[in-house]
Chain A
């Protein structure tokens, strides 16, 4: 712009300039938008392809090994033949134990945080505490479990130690998701209930909790999935490379699917030969965990559709 020009020319110049910028910039803005949206779509695609790729590889390589015998037999011949049934059962027991421990505790804790706690220092500390529990590395949980349950309380390496360790590990997941679910229930529900004279506890139990159920469920399922899939916490507290018989009691060691994969792939005696079994085990584990996740997702969307908020 020519600063020496007179005011009139300057003003028209400004007007013209603005119009020009507005016109050209319109298509420029929409072009930028298309690029941006393309990038967004690409990111989403990358995620989808990653999941798909991993699943494809595992299914493709593992499906050959999986058959009824694989799922119901013991391993034989130094694991190069036979099945993985004890590992499946072991994982099942460990996960069950973990959930039995952490679900009640977690839900109750989240109810406190969401419904009863006043925003103050103690609550803030509790919350920070739980968030940090979530961040503790799985191997540190394993150390803790080893020191406390296996050695100090002398449970030894067994289902009990493993379950407790896993339970502690997934506690924050359950608390976090449950609390979020409880908070998502509109305040108006509670207010309406209280206005009708219902006690606080009854309000929670009959109004808030049921409406928070999908979120709590989802959180629990993610917790289950994590417990079933984790290796480090059970490495020192429950898992054995090979057990001859199925566990009789909670004080027995067990095989477990994630540990089985790890051990066969890195510490086993015939790594290359057992590769098909490794893939098969990975397939079984992934199928188990993902189908459990899918069930939760379906339940959640079903309940969501029934809701009217």
Chain B
């Protein structure tokens, strides 16, 4: 018996990205209020978790903050799964520091060197004379993958960086640590942390949509082929006006 397939009684199982999690959760709550027949169960774990769960057929929707990798596509094909991407929002990855940190702007180059462990002290980038504490996401994270691609251009993240399991955890750490740097989806930025500008450009909805902000990326929900039943309702809701309002409300950028 597959608990993953949900065409029974309106169950929808969602797994994947912690970046997309707040959006999925808010949407699920709103949809369930509208249509009590639909029952959504949500988990995080990272984009990689979600895609893997889709391939293993233990989830209906895989949320992901990155596109599917060729290896994953191949694996899916060998399992008879056809991942279909639904772009539901645009996200900007924002480097953050403690509000007390004097640094306000870093270039892509500087961020790359910091995360490779080659720039180790804040005073090399205009801050105080303190060791930089690098906080990163672990490898299951789509945020991590995007960061690695767009900032590090494929270079290795230093093993001394502390790996956290979610954007929320990074916010929590940074808000308490005067010498740490991290990166999160724009939806997670709040008053307890300070967002840095990248190459002088601020992370805003307009800059992300126009492409000026260098670290923007789409957020996806993957399904196995064309969805039907309650899963289709959920996707439709997500892409519709109400769903996109929720996207904006959670701090992300709607796709229109």
Q: Which residues of A come within 8 Å of B, CB atoms?
A: 76-79, 150-151, 154-158, 239-245, 251-253, 263, 266-272
Q: A157-B3, A243-B41 in contact; A271/B168 too (CB < 8 A)? A: yes
Given contacts A156-B3, A251-B1, A269-B21, contact A245 B39 (CB under 8 A): yes
Is B105 in contact with chain A by the CB < 8 A criterion? no
The smallest C-beta distance from A91 to any residue of chain B, in angstroms, reads 16
List chain B positions with a Cβ less than 8 A from chain A.
1-4, 13, 18, 21-22, 25-26, 28-29, 32, 38-45, 56, 58, 164-166, 168-169, 171-172, 175, 188, 190, 192
Contact assessment for A268 and B1 in the assembled complex, using a CB-CB cutoff below 8 Å: no
Least CB distance from A72 to B in Å reads 19
Give me 15 other A-B pairs in contact (C-beta within 8 A), A244-B39, A266-B169 excluded. Answer: A78-B25, A151-B58, A154-B1, A154-B2, A156-B3, A239-B43, A241-B42, A242-B25, A251-B1, A266-B166, A267-B18, A267-B166, A267-B169, A269-B21, A269-B25
* Residue from B26, B43, B56, B165 in contact with A241 in the complex, judged by beta carbons closer than 8 Å: B43
Q: How far is the CA of A202 from the CA of B188 in the complex (A)?
A: 66
Name B58's contact: one of A150, A239, A271 (CB within 8 Å): A150
Provide the bound-state CA to CA distance between A268 and B164, in Å.
Answer: 12
The reply to whether B168 and A155 form a contact with Cβ atoms under 8 Å apart is no
Q: Give how many A-B residue pairs fall within 8 Å (CB-CB).
A: 86
Residues in A with CB closer than 8 Å to B45 are: 267
Given A240-B42, A266-B165, A156 contacting B18 (CB threshold 8 A):
no
With A240-B42, A243-B41, A272-B192 given, is the CB distance from A267 to B3 under 8 Å? no
Q: How far is B21's CA from A197's CA once the two chains are assembled, in angstroms?
A: 68
Chain B residues with Cβ below 8 Å from A241 are 21, 41-44
Q: Report 26 cross-chain contacts, Cβ distance below 8 Å, ordered by A residue.
A: A78-B22, A150-B58, A151-B56, A154-B2, A155-B3, A156-B3, A156-B58, A239-B43, A240-B42, A242-B42, A242-B43, A244-B28, A244-B38, A244-B40, A244-B41, A252-B3, A253-B3, A266-B168, A267-B18, A267-B21, A268-B166, A268-B168, A269-B22, A269-B25, A271-B171, A272-B190
Residues in B neighbouring A150, C-beta threshold 8 A: 58
Q: Which residues of B contact A79 (CB under 8 A)?
A: 25
CA distance A81 to B2 in the complex (A): 32
In the bound complex, residues from chain B placing their C-beta under 8 Å from that of A155 are 1, 3
Taking a contact as CB atoms under 8 Å apart, the answer to whether A240 and B22 are in contact is no
Going nearest first, the 10 A-B pairs with the smallest beta carbon separation are A156-B3, A269-B22, A267-B166, A271-B168, A243-B41, A244-B39, A241-B43, A240-B41, A267-B44, A266-B169
**In the complex the two chains form, is B41's CB within 8 Å of A156's CB?**
no
Given contacts A156-B2, A244-B28, A244-B32, contact A267 B39 (CB under 8 A): no
Report the minimum CB–CB distance from A270 to chain B (whole Å).
7
Q: What's the Cα separation between A168 and B122 when bound, in Å?
A: 50
A241 to B26, CA, bound (A): 13
CB contacts (< 8 Å) of B58 on chain A: these are 150-151, 156-157
CA distance A173 to B24 in the complex (A): 40
